[in-house]
Structure 1
């Protein structure tokens, strides 16, 4: 009966344990790659009940079967609308594989940054705002509401997947817990992705949830501008001391030209009467997230409230390039 209803896939008391042979069959011998990342490669698979899944083969993972199962069970019990659902795992023959729900619309970077041919699917302002708010709420859940709080350590558009109706879902959360301890040491100063890493990673300061807040601020600014934080259009970006958040801050708060930073692709849809307050909240919130001192940044719970408009946002301090200050 459970099999008929597909309930054996749901982590009620824990995630389902798949055999390597089952996943090999489901993925056509791991032939349908749909993504590659620092933690491993992802393949599209189809289970015998026709359910489509994303199968992630992990690299450099800690512990034996029992330890791996214990950590995976914690991840599988994290339930939030805006987190990718973990259904099961495989730990056999030295393999460490996770089985996730399949999220149909791919990752956010495909919608924000121009493809090779210059075309990208369009996201209107309302959808962008909903994506930002959903991501903020899910990180707040990881930081503040889970029984075991989790740092993501790699918030970026590639790790934000878009489901039906462009509902955002964060992937790769909790994977930092599965890394080998020696790997954690060797990675500790380079955890994350260039352009999204908080200053404390480089300065060897203690890492707290505020590191994720910084990364989210950078993503939030990219959602507004439609540009990579380290690949902006125009020649003034070539100087060594150019800094994306500072450029956006000066445009919005010094020159009062919010239109100058908006994604060109949806600029024509921007209606000041309708969208100003929403975009203004997104930019102000991003600026608070991007403060170089962690204690200046709000918690993710407060960030979500700032985006919702349920708390007042005072004018932010200009973000600085931390290493030029010292």
Structure 2
């Protein structure tokens, strides 16, 4: 089968083809589970050359070996500072396994959504993180801004710079890993359905995670890169607030009518009080003279990303420029609750 697929003719410097036995040994019989997701389980392993890797055992993979090989070659050609690097794969004994670089600091959700308060006496260390009473790192405003910018640039790369048009379809904190110096790296890209740029996409099976899915998924409308833009906007608000978008904040609104972006919009643009939506754990370190510009750009950009109609959302390339401050940001319209009728 390998010969008919051309797997033996991998380009020099391309992804390595591992045997199942090699990966079984590297992961100590798949004993160190470090993550579970919609595409499969992830195990930590050590290769014979002592490289530490993350081994993702895919499940429910559609198509045959040829289609899997096609996906692997596409993923392997994607190189960006803010994308997790694919080092190899295994297509043996019915298994579909991808071997990635190991990203040491885990996923963003572990840092954003955790209990613990920061007291006024806490200070920012040189690493840019605070430590709460349970000794968990809490990311400071500078690192949060750099994470937002890095993720935006990597999604723009997937949408606009790859030869193939790649939609991620599941942008969320769990799929944003943090490397050295908390450099963000997107994982699970390329595993959703891939389409050429000249094709417009209608994906029959819904992808994504509740709370991050764009309205067009629910409405069964045409899916374009703007669906990823919406998901990124929700992550942006979570970076600022430190809470899940599905968690109801202090409000008299009934739960069925609750919509995180609308609550944040009212706080920032009606009440003119951005501090009300800031992560309470580092609220005391917020200095409007130092942090206002970056935080304000993050919030305004998020609101544009979260527009109900896809055509109202900016491209990810423009989103990156908005965060950089290289283009002006006009005041956004208030995001609507897409699952309720406006009639």
Task: Verify: 1:270 aligned to 2:277, yes or no.
Answer: no
Map of 1:77 onto structure 2: 77
Task: Verify: 1:140 aligned to 2:156, yes or no.
Answer: yes
Task: Verify: 1:127 aligned to 2:152, yes or no.
Answer: no
Map of 2:94 onto structure 1: 94
Cα distance change, pair 11–293 in 1 and its aligned pair in 2 (3 A): farther
Map of 2:129 onto structure 1: none
| Secondary structure of residue in 2 paired with 1:122 | strand
Task: Verify: 1:38 aligned to 2:21, yes or no.
Answer: no
Map of 2:296 onto structure 1: 280
Superposed displacement of residue 53, structure 1: 0.1
Cα distance change, pair 60–162 in 1 and its aligned pair in 2 (3 A): same
What TM-score do you get using the length of structure 2 for normalisation? 0.87
| Secondary structure of residue in 1 paired with 2:285 | coil
Cα distance change, pair 14–177 in 1 and its aligned pair in 2 (3 A): farther
| Secondary structure of residue in 2 paired with 1:100 | strand
| Secondary structure of residue in 2 paired with 1:56 | strand
Aligned length: 311
Superposed displacement of residue 65, structure 1: 2.5
Alpha-carbon distance in structure 2 between the residues aligned to 1:11 and 1:136: 30
Alpha-carbon distance in structure 1 between the residues aligned to 2:48 and 2:288: 51
Cα distance change, pair 40–237 in 1 and its aligned pair in 2 (3 A): farther
Superposed displacement of residue 282, structure 1: 0.2
Superposed displacement of residue 30, structure 1: 0.3
Structure 1: 5+ residue stretches without partners: 1-9, 179-186
- Output one character per residue of 1:230-249: Cα deviation in whole Å (capped at 9) or x when no partner: 01343536532111000000
Alpha-carbon distance in structure 2 between the residues aligned to 1:223 and 1:204: 29
Superposed displacement of residue 106, structure 1: 0.1
CA contact 1:15–1:76 (8 Å) conserved in 2: yes
Alpha-carbon distance in structure 2 between the residues aligned to 1:74 and 1:286: 30
CA contact 2:233–2:301 (8 Å) conserved in 1: yes
Cα distance change, pair 240–115 in 1 and its aligned pair in 2 (3 A): same
RMSD: 2.1
CA contact 2:248–2:258 (8 Å) conserved in 1: no
- Output one character per residue of 1:12-42: Cα deviation in whole Å (capped at 9) or x when no partner: 4531100000000000000000000000000
| Secondary structure of residue in 2 paired with 1:132 | helix
| Secondary structure of residue in 2 paired with 1:240 | helix
What TM-score do you get using the length of structure 1 for normalisation? 0.91
Which of 234, 242, 257 is matched with 2:258 structurally? 242
More helix by share: 1
Task: Verify: 1:213 aligned to 2:229, yes or no.
Answer: yes
Cα distance change, pair 290–118 in 1 and its aligned pair in 2 (3 A): farther
Structure 2: 5+ residue stretches without partners: 1-9, 117-131, 195-202
Alpha-carbon distance in structure 1 between the residues aligned to 2:28 and 2:115: 28
